[in-house]
């Protein structure tokens, strides 16, 4: 028998590989949501945006043969949904959470409707960057096949951190999110800043969808996201609205997805429902650890979730 079987080493390797493969959608959606929430609005509809992005990327890649064009169209489709959310949620006395839930239903319904003809065909996938050539082991080589979108996401996180901390536009976004009155007194259009933040955030979420359908798992179906968009929105809260922490949290969630299957593949097959639920359990634990009734969350934008007059 060849030296193929990895045994117990398979678990950390699978988690590492799962992290590199599966965290890009979390990363893009959470960065998009981070930007949106920094401006003081919540966009729960990113689950719908993710599905719309996945569908349009797959469809365009299939129809034109160019996966990169698919990625761009996914972003544009996300922006389209973002404009709707940005406009609706800023109407007087409109609750952005309620609009977000409507946008989940709208985005996913639209994606399912338009995506019907693309369930069967196989679309060209994004190229992979192989970083595992140094290893003789096919498992390691396969684990280190990295999506260019993932690398882009990893680069965007510190850039966005810098954007918030050191750039004038970042300051505007933070001002609008923390103290809209002060921002208005400065002569800034709150509507425009929030609209821009929501649209840019939705663009990123759409790209996250492209990563689902064009890299991993690499197929379009109605169950492709399985709630990843919503988890990524929750993830922003315990990443404390910090883009770099969004990156760490996304890596953690991508890895957690791989735990259940990896354990079963080496023969630990008890409690697999529990292990499969690990991303959700992780969410709960982190929420419990980080939340306290005595203080508000540090880092939360001041005007987040407040009704608009």
Partner 1 sequence: MRNPTFQVTRRQMVRGLLATGAFGLTVKLSACGNAPTASGGDTLTAGFIYVGPKDDYGYNQAHAEGRASLDGMDGVKTSEEASVPETNAVQETIRSMIDLDGATAIFATSFGYFDPHVLALAQDFPEVQFFHCGGLYQEGVHPENVGSYFGYIDEAQYVAGVVAAHASSSKRLGFIAAKPIPQVLRNVNSFTLGARSIDPSVTTQVIFTGDWADPVREAEAANSMADQGVDVLTCHVDSPKVVIETAERRGIFASGYHANQAELAPQGYLTGAEWDWSNVYNNYITMMQEGKTLMNGGIPHLVRGGFKDGFLKLSPYGPGVSASAQEAAEAAKAQLISGELVIYKGEIKDNQGKVAIAGGKELGQTAVELEQMNWLAEGVMGSVG
**Closer by beta carbon to partner 1, 89 or else 197:** 89
Closest CB 33 distance from partner 1, rounded Å: 19
- Contact footprint for partner 1 (CB under 8 A): 1-2, 4-7, 10, 13-14, 17-18, 21-22, 102, 105-106, 109-110, 112-113, 116, 119-120, 122, 138-139, 142-143, 212, 216-219, 221-224, 226, 228, 257-258, 260-262, 264-267, 269-270, 272-273, 276, 307, 309
Calpha distance 201→75 (Å, rounded): 10
Closest CB 276 distance from partner 1, rounded Å: 5
**Closer by beta carbon to partner 1, 270 or else 289:** 270
Question: Nearest CA to 203 among 24, 83, 305, 55?
Answer: 83
Closest CB 166 distance from partner 1, rounded Å: 36
Q: Pinpoint the alpha helices (H) of the chain.
A: 10-22, 24-38, 46-64, 67-88, 96-115, 138-143, 148-166, 168-178, 180-185, 190-214, 228-238, 243-265, 272-276, 278-290
Calpha distance 85→161 (Å, rounded): 24
**Closer by beta carbon to partner 1, 90 or else 139:** 139
**Closer by beta carbon to partner 1, 123 or else 156:** 123
Q: Which helix (H) or strand (E) holds 146?
A: strand 145-146
**Closer by beta carbon to partner 1, 222 or else 281:** 222
34 in Cβ contact with 26 (< 8 Å)? no
Q: Which residues contact 302 (CB under 8 A, 6 or more apart)?
A: 40, 177, 178, 179
Both structure tokens of 14:
């699978």
Closest CB 42 distance from partner 1, rounded Å: 19
């Amino acid at each position: 028998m060849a030296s193929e079987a990895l045994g117990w080493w398979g678990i950390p390797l699978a988690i590492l590989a799962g992290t590199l493969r599966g965290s890009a959608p979390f990363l893009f959606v959470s960065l998009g949501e981070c930007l949106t929430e920094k401006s003081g609005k919540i966009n729960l509809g990113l689950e719908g945006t993710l599905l719309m992005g996945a569908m349009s990327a797959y469809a365009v890649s299939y129809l034109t043969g160019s996966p990169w064009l698919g990625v761009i169209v996914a972003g544009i489709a996300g922006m389209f949904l973002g404009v709707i959310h940005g406009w609706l949620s800023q109407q007087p006395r409109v609750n952005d959470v309620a609009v977000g839930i409507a946008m989940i239903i709208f985005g996913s319904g639209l994606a399912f409707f338009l995506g019907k003809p693309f369930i069967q065909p196989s679309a060209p996938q994004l190229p992979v960057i192989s970083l595992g050539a140094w290893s003789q082991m096919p498992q390691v080589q396969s684990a280190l096949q990295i999506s260019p979108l993932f690398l882009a996401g990893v680069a965007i996180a510190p850039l966005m951190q810098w954007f918030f901390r050191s750039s004038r536009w970042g300051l505007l976004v933070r001002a609008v999110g923390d103290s809209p009155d002060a921002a208005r007194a400065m002569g800034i259009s709150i509507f425009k800043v929030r609209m821009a933040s929501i649209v840019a955030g939705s663009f990123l979420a759409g790209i996250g969808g492209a990563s689902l359908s064009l890299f991993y798992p690499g197929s379009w179906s109605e169950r492709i996201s399985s709630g990843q968009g919503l988890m990524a929105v929750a993830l922003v809260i315990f990443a404390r609205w910090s883009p770099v922490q969004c990156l760490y949290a996304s890596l953690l969630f991508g890895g957690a997805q791989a735990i259940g299957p990896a354990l079963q593949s080496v023969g630990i097959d008890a409690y697999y429902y529990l292990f499969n639920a690990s991303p959700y359990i992780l969410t709960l634990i982190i929420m419990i650890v980080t939340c306290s009734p005595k203080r508000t969350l540090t880092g939360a934008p001041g005007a987040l979730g407040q009704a608009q007059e």
